[in-house]
Amino acid sequence: MSFDIALVWANLPMYGQGILVTLKLLLIALAVGLLLAVPLALMRVSRRPWVNFPAWLYTYVIRGTPMLVQLFLVYYGLAQFHSVRESWLWPWLSDATFCACLAFAINTSAYTAEILAGSLKSTAHGEIEAARAMGMSPGLLYRRILLPSALRRALPQYSNEVIMMLHTTSLASIVTLMDITGAARTFNAQYYLPFEAFITAGLCYLLLTFVLVRLFKLAERRWLAYLAPRRH
């Protein structure tokens, strides 16, 4: 069996477009997911049951169901309701890119919320006491101490979530989007060469994963340097 490098090379522009679509889906999902995750994390660490329970239920349901099911529910499931098709949301919900970004954002928001909630709960009690001794209000305490500290300390765990979300974007091809996996499926449909098609897609994902890992390592070196052991 020979690997047709020339054919892969000729179709690299198609894979390049797939990489751009994948990055677009990833960045939008992560941005929206993080915006949703911050208030959810604050709700998760609340001691009031009526505040904590809705956030717990949301994260439990989202994390307990497969991503593919969530994508199908958003893209195919909502379309069966006449009220949805007649509403002002239909131009958005009939768009595959919007539905994929929405499903991915909902999914990553649940995981990110749990990561941030765990990071908030692990904040050193001394930091909180020092802030209170300076007269900080609860809102100011969260804005200046708890959230910045929790976001920094959550970087290692969040990097894993970002990489998992990168791999999750491969499901976008199921709803007709031409991401990396979609490019591989098109390549295979045209030339009937599944090995070349999906090996190339795997290399694209491997390259993106390497770049993301390096970026997070640089971020951790910058923002988590104070946690590193001191050299004498």
Domain containing residue 202: CATH number = 1.10.3720.10
Residue 80 lies in a domain: yes
pLDDT at 106 over 80: yes
Residue 116 lies in a domain: yes
What is the domain range of residue 73? 5-224
Residue 49 lies in a domain: yes
Residues with Cβ within 8 Å of residue 89, at least 6 apart in sequence: none
Over the stretch 108-131, which tens digit does the pLDDT of each residue have?
999 999 999 999 988 888 877 887
Work out how many domains the chain is built from and give that number. Answer: 1
Residue 10 lies in a domain: yes
Q: What are the b/e assignments for 100-111, b being 16+ CB within 10 Å?
A: bbbbbbbbbbbb
Residue 230 lies in a domain: no
Helix (H, G, I), strand (E, B) or coil at 178: coil
Residue 65 lies in a domain: yes
Residue 153 lies in a domain: yes
Residue type, 199: I
The pLDDT, as a whole number, for residue 228 is 63
∠ CA 179-187-24, nearest 5°, is: 10
Over the stretch 171-195, which tens digit does the pLDDT of each residue have?
999 998 999 999 999 999 999 999 9
Residue 165 lies in a domain: yes
Whole-model pTM: value is 0.92
CA proximity to 22, closest of 187, 212, 213, 194: 212
The pLDDT, as a whole number, for residue 1 is 56
